[in-house]
Structure 1
């Protein structure tokens, strides 16, 4: 029998935006929230704050097997999934431009390959989450909201020379959302949208800062979960919210070619 509460799954849910959204959902008394995160200590701490309407599942979103196992466990217990917040992501941890070899004169000494863990978690993890989420949405009761929100970033729109690999991953996240949104909705009734946090720099913020964030910040997420939006990209800059549309086609030829691929 399906749970009386709506069921949410949040990747990267042990801290930052993920945990903040989880707290809002639990406070509404309408949701049971499942947090997926690689940080076991943070996850355990998070559910101690959230209470009995929450569960924690140690998960590596870059591993399809790990992610699938967590979703399978959740669905076996709840018999439905209503909302998935594909929020997990990490920044790049090294200076992309720093010299990578001990020699600047020997052309045969090549630098090591770039560290692309950021892409594995941020982009591949989001893709994995969408694939697994849609599978379980298809097996959930039709009356559920079937909402899938992906955390993109302001660098999905603006290039950041300081974080080029992270910029690439977040550009990919936004492009992927826009590519699948129409098909996911038409085929399975799943509403896919993206949240693009801007000047609210979540990785640098402690819980005491989250406690001071005005109510308006949470409006975009709640709108995307409970509303009718499909394929929307909502950018937050400070506490302002902007709907960022896809750029117009350059000419009729581009519109014809890309229109056929929708």
Structure 2
């Protein structure tokens, strides 16, 4: 798989574009904020923590808990009020691992307590809230816009952080499931980033030290991939992996996951996976059901499949 680099010249079209960023006060979010502003873009930032200076004094900001639908609704309303429009949304807010499911926490009666799903709630539920609101607001634009989500190398790797890895796998699932519903049916592109080891607050300092120089990347390296996915209107459905200045789209192309999966299943050129054939039949059924009000219950169940695999 061929890697690529991202020169500043490929980011120039972000100029004058309006971007909402969640998790903007540190790490990849803050680096992306700075990268976008450097290239002339406009940012509306959000986080539970305030922005550092000098951004605190110059960038519009709203304190947001991404697990709160109300907070996120207010975020998008505030951004529209500030700038009049929204062009791109970076669903970035996230936290590190919380549980492994191997813990046995019990109540006063000795009954097992449910696991704490803080990480899943922030990294997946919060992301889904952001994406839903992004689609709603971007549909207002004749030119649409784009959504970038923060996935991870753990979206496809056997990474032993149960809740974190589960949530990041699900973010990749969100990318794949929405891909067919958006561009070109709607003028909205969706992509995701999958950073390798990056110097952020989520990665413990001792881990960064143990990795050693040259084996981890700065948050600004990742920010380049985020900005590219917004600035380049040809990019849709990509999962861009970043590792110390080298970037790869892991979803598409001859060595992308979809092509490799076809080869693993023995599906040759021109053939289709059995799942795809079934989806086509379901899509046709959904279209037929939509024309018959008596089948409304069936239509609701199949509506999400209409036209996706045609």
TM-score scaled by structure 2?
0.70
Q: Distance in 2 between matches of 1:213 and 1:180?
A: 30
Aligned to 1:239: 245
Tell me the residue number matched to 1:109.
Answer: 110
Q: CA deviation at 1:52?
A: 6.1
Q: Which residue, out of 274, 277, 291, partners 1:256?
A: 277
Alpha-carbon distance between aligned partners in 1 of 2:24 and 2:186, rounded to the nearest angstrom: 25
Sort the Cα spacing of 1:217 and 1:166 in 2 relative to 1 into closer, same or farther, 3 A.
closer
Q: Which among 91, 109, 121 is matched to residue 96 of structure 2?
A: 91
Q: Alignment partner of 2:181: what SS?
A: helix
Q: CA deviation at 1:44?
A: 3.7
Specify the alignment match of 1:192 in structure 2. Answer: 190
Q: Would the alpha carbon gap of residues 204 and 27 (structure 1) be closer, same or farther in structure 2, given more than 3 Å must change? A: same
Q: Taking structure 1 as reference, are residues 116 and 217 closer, same or farther at Cα in structure 2, changes over 3 Å only?
A: closer
Instruction: Give the Cα–Cα distance (whole angstroms) in 1 for the partners of residues 128 and 156 of structure 2.
Output: 19
Q: 1:31 aligns with which of 41, 44, 54?
A: 41
CA–CA distance in 1 between the matches of 2:48 and 2:56? 20
Give the equivalent residue in structure 1 for 2:123: 122
Partners of 1:198 and 1:235 within 8 A in 2: yes
SS of the residue 1:9 aligns to: strand
Q: Which moved more, 1:212-221 or 1:50-59?
A: 212-221
Answer with 115-124 or 242-251: which moved more: 242-251
Alignment check: 8 A CA contact 2:27 2:219 kept:
no
1:150 to 2:164 alignment: no
**Would the alpha carbon gap of residues 253 and 94 (structure 1) be closer, same or farther in structure 2, given more than 3 Å must change?**
closer
Are 1:135 and 2:136 counterparts? yes
> 1:65, 1:218 → 2: CA distance?
28
Per-residue deviation, 1:81: 0.3
Structure 2 alignment gaps of length 5 or more? 1-14, 206-212, 252-256, 268-272, 284-304
Contact 1:149 1:193 in 2 (8 A): yes
CA drift of 1:182 comes to 2.4
Task: Give 1:100 deviation, angstroms.
Answer: 2.4
Going from structure 1 to structure 2, the CA distance change for 1:100 and 1:66 (only over 3 Å counts) comes to same
Shift of 1:173: 0.6
The C-alpha deviation readout for 1:53-103, integer Å capped at 9, x for no partner, is 521110111111110011111112211101110001112234532332489
Aligned 1:59-74 pairs, distance under 5 A: 59-74=64-79
Unpaired runs of at least 5, structure 1: none
Aligned 8 A contact 1:182 1:230 in 2: no
Query: What's the TM-score once normalised by structure 1's chain length?
Result: 0.82
> Aligned-pair distance for 1:128?
0.5
